């Protein structure tokens, strides 16, 4: 499968020139083009994709910037190419940083919908070996475990603790899991403050407050959670289940900090 990463944006040094960058995950393929603002539309982008591809169009183009997503989607539709919104465009972002610093505007985090929130939650750990073994063969309605995030593919030792968060959602378990899945969870982070918070990064720039707390013991667990993420190459998990019986699981996601 041929997968490209693409970005289309206005150059920071002026208001009149737009730049299109396209590459693959290894940067063995790169394409760069620019146009005046008056030409910056889906027709121009489609023509550049066609020119870059020649006879072999990509199957998927990944896009991380919300501002250009709809335009590249329109270009993709005209060429029959699937467009995938994702933050996981690390190669493209590295290329961008080499050219000039960039940062996406991120909205302040908003609380999870009250009608979806679970009954309680806690920090937890699983050994790297158990991450895959414990969930891959279970009948979990929502299971998001990409190959590239599996501990073995990240080169993690089987005994290494992988940190995570478990939400016990009771009767709201399935509704919460479906809502989370629709939002495309990316990562969880502890933010110190008054009170402290647990923030879910999702979609392209969405941010949600999973929980707030002032308890020193919970804060200590949150700090351990962040320390373990550093040791696990950013890998962590989110698990939603009805209760703490360990019998039924509703949703499981492998996550990784960007």
Containing domain of residue 120, as a range? 110-256
Q: Verify that 212 and 91 share a domain, yes or no.
A: no
More confident: 134 or 75:
75
User: Can you tell me the mean pLDDT for 111-134?
Assistant: 87
Task: Decide which of 79, 99, 119 is a domain's last residue.
Answer: 99
Q: Verify that 87 and 172 share a domain, yes or no.
A: no
Q: Verify that 224 and 125 share a domain, yes or no.
A: yes
Q: Is 105 domain-assigned?
A: no
Q: Verify that 119 and 244 share a domain, yes or no.
A: yes
pLDDT digits (tens, 9 = 90+) for 15-45: 789 999 999 999 999 999 999 999 999 999 9
Distance CA 48, CA 39 (A): 12
Identify the pLDDT of residue 14. Answer: 67
Q: What is the mean pLDDT of the chain?
A: 93
User: Can you tell me the mean pLDDT for 138-145?
Assistant: 90
**Among 28-32, 75-79, 109-113, 180-184, whose mean pLDDT is lowest?**
109-113
pLDDT digits (tens, 9 = 90+) for 77-102: 999 999 999 999 999 999 999 988 88
Res. 133: pLDDT tops 70? yes
Phi, psi of 182 (to 5 degrees): -65, -25
Distance CA 256, CA 234 (A): 5
Distance CA 155, CA 125 (A): 18
Q: Is 65 domain-assigned?
A: yes
User: Can you tell me the mean pLDDT for 194-222?
Assistant: 93
Q: Verify that 48 and 137 share a domain, yes or no.
A: no
Q: Is 33 domain-assigned?
A: yes
Q: Is 52 domain-assigned?
A: yes
Identify the pLDDT of residue 253. Answer: 97
Distance CA 140, CA 250 (A): 6
Q: Is 24 domain-assigned?
A: yes
pLDDT digits (tens, 9 = 90+) for 118-128: 779 999 999 99
Closest by alpha carbon to 163, among 124, 220, 122? 124
What's the per-residue H, E or C state across 190-239? EECCCCEEEEEEECCCEEEEEEEECCHHHHHHHHHHHHHHHHCCCEEEEE
């Amino acid at each position: 499968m041929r997968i490209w990463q693409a970005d289309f944006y206005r150059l920071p040094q002026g208001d009149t020139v737009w730049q299109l960058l396209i590459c693959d995950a290894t940067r063995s393929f790169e394409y760069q083009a620019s146009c005046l603002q008056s030409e910056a539309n889906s027709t121009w982008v489609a023509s550049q994709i066609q020119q870059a591809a020649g006879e072999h169009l990509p199957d998927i183009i990944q896009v991380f910037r919300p501002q250009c997503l709809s335009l590249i989607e329109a270009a993709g539709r005209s060429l029959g190419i699937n467009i995938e919104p994702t933050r996981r465009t690390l190669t493209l972002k590295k290329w961008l940083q080499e050219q000039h610093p960039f940062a996406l505007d991120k909205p302040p985090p908003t609380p999870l919908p009250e009608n979806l929130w679970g009954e309680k939650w806690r920090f937890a750990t699983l050994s790297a070996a158990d991450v895959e073994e414990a969930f891959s063969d279970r009948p979990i309605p929502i299971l998001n475990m990409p190959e590239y995030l599996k501990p073995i593919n990240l080169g993690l030792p089987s005994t290494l603790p992988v940190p995570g968060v478990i939400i016990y959602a009771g009767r709201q378990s399935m509704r919460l899991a479906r809502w989370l899945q629709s939002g495309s969870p990316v990562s969880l982070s502890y933010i110190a403050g008054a009170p402290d918070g647990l923030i879910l990064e999702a979609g392209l720039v969405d941010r949600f407050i999973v929980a707030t707390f002032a308890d020193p013991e919970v804060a200590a667990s949150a700090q351990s959670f962040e320390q373990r993420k550093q040791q696990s190459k950013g890998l962590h998990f989110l698990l939603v289940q009805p209760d703490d019986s360990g019998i039924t699981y509703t949703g499981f996601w492998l996550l990784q900090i960007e």
